[in-house]
Structure 1
Amino acid sequence: MVKFLVDAKADLEKARDARGRRPLFRAVSRYDGNVVCALIAGRADVNAVTEDGTTPLFAAVESGDLRVVKVLLDAGADIEKARKDGTAPLLRACELQLKSTVCLLIEQRAVVDRRRAWDGQTAISRSSASGYSEIVSILAGVQA
């Protein structure tokens, strides 16, 4: 179905499901890397945002799907685009203790010392406060 829509040059930015989600968000939330790739090939906006500022990359980080995170980054997703509450993808990956995702985001040049607006937390301060020592070590190595 997705291939049909892409081949027919359907407007992927106007399409919405019953909850108002664009196809790319739905594919990310369903852990469907093949559909994500097809939608990106069909020019889905990898930097689209929901009402709360969530991007497909942020949603992929939350899903824990490292493959989809990489696909979105390779397609030009903005690694620093934060939700309206100021939480960037790297900080969220740290909160969820997603070590591989943290490493990938750092490798792709995520800003390690970026502060979340509402509480001033950085990835390292949040990880440290939560006792995530492995992630703290990774982040400290980048800051050194």
Structure 2
Amino acid sequence: MEFKEVCRGKILKEIWQSEEVKEAKSKLRKELQLLVSEWCKRDRKRRIPVYISLKPKRKIGGLYFQKKRGNGAIVIFPITLLRYPYDVNSDKDFYIRDKESLINTLAHEYAHHLSRDASPHGKIFQENFKKVRKRLIKRLGLD
């Protein structure tokens, strides 16, 4: 089952405590990690880890953290808040993003990894993002 289907109809507290959600999260993380590993191999870059956080964020789909010596990490947030402050006992304050949205966020953050020494959304980043996006569309068969 997909991550979104497993989380459907649950409140945040249930999502955080559910074993089947943890299994779906692990499966999704492995899938996204495999995708990033393929991209890193193709671009001759060091493989970077992908993490999934169940802590809900507002207006943030993912983050790229740059570490020392060229290492980095990507964090993906599949739960998006609709309002803040939110209630952990309500299922109306958030929504779960679908897989395509998560992969698009992953592509955006990977483009940050490719152009980490350039300005965050400058010309080099835009070129790298177009390249990664083109690859992604080709792989998913969305031509």
TM (norm. structure 2) is 0.26
Q: Which has the higher strand share?
A: 2
TM (norm. structure 1) is 0.26
